[in-house]
Homo-oligomer: A and B are copies of this chain.
Amino acid sequence: MNRLSLNQWTTRRWSLPQAVDGCARHGIPAIGVWRQQLQECGLARAVKLIADSGLRVSSLCRGGFLTGGEALDDNRRAIDEAAALGAPCLVMVVGGLPGVSPGEPLSPGVSRDLPGARQRVVDAVAELAPYAAERGVRLALEPLHPMYCADRSVLSTLGQALDIAERFPVEQVGVVVDAFHVWWDPQLFSQIARAGARIASYQVCDQLHPLPADVLLGRAMMGDGVIDFRPMTAAVAAAGYTGDIEVEIFNADVWAADPDEVLTTMIERYRRLVI
């Protein structure tokens, strides 16, 4: 339990104060904060609340959406928030093809230039990394499952994330290993070993089968899907990662359930299936 972190989106109907209280009541020592709930709470109040609770912040979710070319100011604000919270990293979901929006039909002006979008990510990270480093925040590049390549992340594999991260000092830019996004990758274990000290965050949740109509909600409680977590946890540990293990689940049934029951199940599954 000493490395378990509740990513707030798992209990997204809880406000930040409710989630902090929930972690305390269930003995969960860390929390992954989302900017939406942070904004509702207010930054100064959130900082005090978390400090008083004794919880660690494992990450701030999320910055990114860099491929449209207009997000740098908002990412600087996210970095400032991460610094205020003492979050070790800002999780970056880099964005999809310019003009392609999640859930929306394609518009005539959409870009199909995938290499160009990927170059925009490199350029934007180069802009942001020094700003983040000055504030003690590490950018954590998160490869997303290739089914989100068009609309959410042109960063699709751990190897590709490392190719970008390695252009920067290790303390400035790391990567996220999210089981859901990378479990299928034939290079997973070799890339985890390569990642080593670049691993800024390890997130777990399962993949539903069959996928639901909205594939964004294809994430599931560990044990309810197709992923074998233990070998991945062992590989991440062998690579030297000793940080928190966040449980981040986007799932309609989990969101509809009583958050306290979700935490009870999460703790049981984490102990039985993840570590």
A residues lining the B interface (CB < 8 Å): 97, 100, 102-106, 110, 112-114, 118, 145-147, 149-151, 156-157, 159-160, 163, 183-187, 207, 209-211, 213, 215, 224-228
Q: CA of A227 to CA of B187 in the docked complex: distance in angstroms?
A: 24
Asked if residues A113 and B146 are in contact (CB atoms below 8 Å), the reply is: no
Copies in the complex: 2
Q: Give the 5 A-B CB pairs with smallest separation, nearest first.
A: A213-B213, A149-B184, A160-B186, A112-B228, A146-B184
- CB within 8 A of A157: which of B118, B186, B213? B186
Q: CA of A104 to CA of B97 in the docked complex: distance in angstroms?
A: 32
- CB within 8 A of A183: which of B104, B114, B184, B226? B114
Chain B residue with Cβ nearest A102: B210
Asked if residues B146 and A112 are in contact (CB atoms below 8 Å), the reply is: no
Question: In the complex, what residues of B have CB within 8 A of residue A150's CB?
Answer: 184, 207, 209, 226
Question: In the complex, what residues of B have CB within 8 A of residue A210's CB?
Answer: 102-105, 151
For the complex with contacts A113-B228, A145-B147, A147-B215, 16 further pairs of A-B residues with Cβ separation under 8 Å are A97-B226, A100-B226, A102-B210, A104-B210, A105-B210, A112-B226, A145-B146, A146-B146, A146-B147, A146-B185, A147-B147, A149-B183, A150-B207, A156-B184, A157-B186, A159-B187
Q: CA of A36 to CA of B132 in the docked complex: distance in angstroms?
A: 58
Question: In the complex, what residues of B have CB within 8 A of residue A102's CB?
Answer: 210
Chain B residue with Cβ nearest A211: B215
Rounded to whole Å, the gap between the CB of A129 and the closest CB of chain B is 20
Q: CA of A251 to CA of B147 in the docked complex: distance in angstroms?
A: 17
Asked if residues A226 and B184 are in contact (CB atoms below 8 Å), the reply is: no
- CB within 8 A of A186: which of B147, B159, B224? B159
Question: In the complex, what residues of B have CB within 8 A of residue A113's CB?
Answer: 228
Asked if residues B184 and A114 are in contact (CB atoms below 8 Å), the reply is: yes
Rounded to whole Å, the gap between the CB of A103 and the closest CB of chain B is 5
Chain B residue with Cβ nearest A112: B228
Q: CA of A106 to CA of B226 in the docked complex: distance in angstroms?
A: 8
Rounded to whole Å, the gap between the CB of A95 and the closest CB of chain B is 14
Q: CA of A206 to CA of B146 in the docked complex: distance in angstroms?
A: 15
Question: In the complex, what residues of B have CB within 8 A of residue A157's CB?
Answer: 185-186
Question: In the complex, what residues of B have CB within 8 A of residue A112's CB?
Answer: 226-228
Asked if residues B145 and A226 are in contact (CB atoms below 8 Å), the reply is: no
28 A-B interface contacts by CB (under 8 A): A102-B210, A105-B209, A105-B210, A106-B209, A106-B225, A110-B226, A112-B227, A114-B183, A114-B184, A114-B228, A118-B186, A146-B147, A146-B185, A147-B147, A147-B211, A149-B183, A149-B184, A150-B209, A150-B226, A151-B209, A156-B184, A156-B185, A157-B186, A159-B186, A159-B187, A163-B186, A211-B215, A215-B215
